[in-house]
């Protein structure tokens, strides 16, 4: 199974002492999480102020720096509407990219998701379908690009306990049905229960300071590599409990 690292997300400088924002910082974190066991990366390019950016120069800078640090590790970026609310401008931004990531996430509950996905696919960038709730699943199910997606990202919200996390995950999984591979992950309180469930269900998952700032025992996570190491420890523990080893 794939453990993807999400080292920064929409968080801003100061949200965590180890949050990487500049291309150089993200590249260092990429090398650390790859060494810890991450098999792919989901990045949020930033502008000079540390806000998420879809502008060509910002995307090129971070993707190029990360590829130099971890050649061969697949690199993806966000296309979240919070970075550029107008859908036409997001499409134009993708068309202006000079350095292309391997894949990009598209949140299907956002206006213009089909157009953004089409722009990515036209440029040879694989698409991950970000599905946050049943309305997003329904929009994706109706999309002409549904079967062209690399994978589905089922994203569970903060505020759920373990039972709530598992119930919501199973509800979304049932709605998604058959199709592209699923990566299941949570945020905040749902993060570690979602990760353990993903492992038990044989699904891909992800971990990083974008999704959670604490380790499974509740202590503060010092950095992204510590989160990836904790995720691999959960993986080993679940497999040992199930009597499997790979």
Per residue in 25-59, pLDDT tens?
A: 999 999 999 999 999 999 999 999 999 999 999 99
CATH number of the domain located at residue range(s) 3-242 in this protein = 3.20.20.70
Q: State whether residue 150 is helix, strand or coil.
A: coil
Q: How far apart are CA 122 and CA 12, in angstroms?
A: 31
Given this model, what pLDDT does residue 156 score?
A: 98
Q: How far apart are CA 88 and CA 90, in angstroms?
A: 5
Q: How far apart are CA 107 and CA 111, in angstroms?
A: 9
Residues 6+ apart with CB under 8 A from 191: 185, 207, 211, 212
- Predicted confidence pLDDT, tens digits, the chain (246 residues): 999 999 999 999 999 999 999 999 999 999 999 999 999 999 999 999 999 999 999 999 999 999 999 999 999 999 999 999 999 999 999 999 999 999 999 999 999 999 999 999 999 999 999 999 999 999 999 999 999 999 999 999 999 999 999 999 999 999 999 999 999 999 999 999 999 999 999 999 999 999 999 999 999 999 999 999 999 999 999 988 877 655
pTM of this prediction? 0.95
């Amino acid at each position: 199974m794939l453990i993807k690292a999400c080292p920064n997300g929409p968080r801003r400088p100061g949200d965590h002492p180890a949050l990487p924002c500049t291309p150089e910082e993200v590249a260092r974190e990429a090398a650390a999480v790859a060494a810890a066991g991450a098999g792919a990366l989901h990045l949020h390019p930033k502008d000079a102020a540390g806000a998420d950016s879809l502008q060509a120069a910002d995307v090129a800078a971070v993707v190029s720096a990360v590829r130099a640090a971890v050649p061969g590790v697949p690199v993806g970026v966000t296309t979240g509407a919070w970075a550029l609310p107008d859908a036409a401008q997001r499409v134009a931004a993708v068309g202006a990219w000079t350095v292309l990531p391997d894949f990009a996430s598209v949140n299907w509950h956002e206006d213009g998701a089909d157009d953004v996905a089409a722009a990515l696919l036209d440029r040879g960038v694989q698409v991950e379908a970000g599905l946050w709730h049943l309305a997003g699943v329904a929009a994706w199910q109706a999309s002409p690009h549904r079967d062209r997606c690399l994978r589905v990202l089922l994203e569970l919200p903060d505020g759920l306990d373990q039972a709530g996390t598992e119930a919501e995950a199973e509800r979304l999984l049932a709605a998604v049905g058959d199709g592209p591979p699923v990566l299941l992950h949570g945020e905040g309180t749902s993060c570690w229960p979602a990760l353990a469930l993903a492992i038990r269900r044989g699904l891909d998952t992800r971990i990083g300071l974008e999704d959670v700032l604490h380790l499974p025992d509740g202590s503060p996570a010092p950095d992204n590599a510590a989160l990836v190491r904790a995720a691999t420890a959960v993986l080993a523990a679940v497999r040992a409990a199930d009597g499997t080893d790979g």
